[in-house]
Amino acid sequence: MTTQTDLDLRNVIDKNAAQLSALLANTYGESGESFRNMSDEAQDAYMWACADMSNAILTSLDELSTRSLARKGVEVQHG
């Protein structure tokens, strides 16, 4: 398994944030009408994709934070 660099993690965050923002912009207001007209299954799959992107962002942010603290000599306990 290849360890991601800090830059790799930032790229994951940037990419997923941009995609998530674009997807969510189509779920409310006038532009959300087409989303609300989707089947329940399609809406679930759409929101699942949004959740996956959100989780990727949070996981990457957590890893960057852990690394930053480790460089400062702070021990991080998970769980």
18-32: pLDDT as tens digits: 999 999 999 999 999
Q: Considering the domain boundaries, does residue 78 fall inside one?
A: no
Name the residue range of residue 51's domain: 6-71
Instruction: Domain count for the chain, please give it.
Output: 1
2-18 residue pLDDT tens: 789 999 999 999 999 99
In this structure, is residue 35 part of a structural domain?
A: yes
pTM: 0.85
CA distances from 24 to 18, 38, 61, 66 (A): 10, 14, 20, 29
Helices (H), 1-79: 6-25, 33-36, 40-71
Residue 77 lies inside a defined structural domain of this protein: no
What is the number of residues in the chain? 79
64, part of any domain: yes
Flag whether 53 is in a domain. Answer: yes
